[in-house]
Chains A and B, each alone.
Chain A
């Protein structure tokens, strides 16, 4: 099961994407527990954007497919835990918005 975290926006406007196949990780169970505990339906999204601040897109390729878009200032608590874990484990891939891939 693929977890994909994309960091978009920022001063440079580039998108960096990290991917983790949690089934291939040694601690799959802990990954699944973290993903299940996240409030996917109640993800915070109401604050106004801050210019040049990152916006994160978190996707899980599974059934059901899950996806949230979070401004950086609202990547806190369990969302921060997930983002930090994915970005430390996965390889980073940078590209410009609008280009195919990811």
Chain B
């Protein structure tokens, strides 16, 4: 049946209003899926015609700048919303990645940009020379080109772009302090959202997904598939220059260190594995239930800047119970997921 009565951009807006109209949003989602299958546009963001008045989610406002190999930020603006591709791979990858991340948050959670109020999405590429890194500076994502020996350019991975923008989301939601367990949770939220951005863009279910962060960053010289794995922390790489992926997958192996702000990029493996367990237990598209629970947890106000692993786990169970019920499959999956990484939850 060809759905023609309600146009897709109106269905998209109803989906976005899911917080207020849950039943209508579910019905609209079914309609949208049917339209997508019919029109063959799975995974692409649906935009209102230009004459329509913009409402909650009006589309991304992307701004990509070029630091030209130096360290002055933001650098020179080289691509703005509506501009065509520039031919500079890093610029165009950043631009595409910003768009895919915007589409994910709008589609999955009805969120208009990282602050929920249409904040412009900013990225700077070609930061410094041989710079093996990407970061969020509080206002924009910043990407290096890598050294060409171990790392290539950091815009080459959509999960990295999603991860960086998600640090902005955290800034506007939980503001988890970037050290110790709260810092590892900050990193964890970015890895989860980064992975989901990639899965959403590819239309993958939890079973089809790689659950890798930063696949495509390494050169061919490195023995490794990615920087991190949510499915199997500690297995993403094993290389004679880099060493072995140091992430733990269980609380028993929590890394105590002064480096990396207390190991925020390492101990994130523990909650990452918990999320993977929840998502694969529930099946289907991970952002629809597991991701929804995590999103509810970080927007409910129960997670604060100093929340630790146990507090975060409790917040996810509270969110699952609120949305799906005490004896639901979802609440049970959340309990089992955290138990699987050494964080058993009491009560429901």
Contacts and interface: CB of A to CB of B under 8 A. Distances in A.
Contacts of B258: 97
Interface stretch (A9-17, A20-28, A32-40, A58-66): A9-17
Given A51-B135, A53-B135, A14 B214 contact: no
A52 interface: yes
B260 interface: yes
Given A50-B135, A52-B136, A96-B266, A8 B167 contact: no
B167 A51 contact: yes
A15 B243 CA distance: 11
A13 B261 CA distance: 9
B257 A98 contact: yes
B137 A50 contact: yes
A9 B167 contact: no
A49 B179 contact: yes
A95 interface: yes
Nearest to A73: B137
Contacts of A18: none
A98 B248 CA distance: 12
Contact of A52 (B134, B179, B246): B134
Contacts of A57: 259
Contacts of A53: 133, 135, 137
Contacts of A13: 246, 260, 263-266
Nearest to A53: B135
Q: Is the interface of A mostly helix, strand, loop or mixed?
A: loop
B167 to A, nearest CB: 4
A52 B133 CA distance: 8
Place the interface of chain A in its size category: 20 to 34
A9 B259 CA distance: 7
A53 B265 CA distance: 11
B133 A54 contact: yes
A49 B255 contact: no
Given A51-B136, A51-B190, A96 B243 contact: yes
Most buried by B among A6, A10, A48: A10
Interface in B90-121: none
Contacts of B261: 9, 49, 55
Contact of B133 (A11, A48, A99): A11
B190 A97 contact: no
Contacts of A12: 132-133, 214, 227, 265
A100 to B, nearest CB: 11
B242 interface: yes
B241 A94 contact: yes
A11 B154 contact: yes
A15 B259 contact: yes
Interface in B239-286: 241-244, 246, 255-261, 263-266
B84 interface: no
Contact of A49 (B178, B241, B257): B178
A20 B228 CA distance: 32
Given A8-B260, A9-B259, A9-B261, 16 more contacts: A6-B259, A11-B133, A11-B135, A11-B265, A12-B227, A13-B263, A13-B264, A13-B265, A15-B260, A49-B178, A50-B137, A51-B186, A52-B134, A52-B135, A52-B163, A94-B243
The 10 closest A-B pairs by CB, nearest first: A13-B265, A96-B246, A97-B259, A52-B135, A51-B167, A98-B257, A53-B135, A8-B259, A97-B257, A98-B255
Interface of A: 6, 8-15, 48-55, 57, 73, 94-99
Interface of B: 132-138, 154, 160, 163-164, 167, 170, 178-179, 186-187, 190, 214, 227, 241-244, 246, 255-261, 263-266
11 contacts: A9-B264, A10-B133, A10-B265, A12-B227, A48-B138, A50-B136, A51-B178, A73-B137, A96-B243, A97-B257, A97-B259
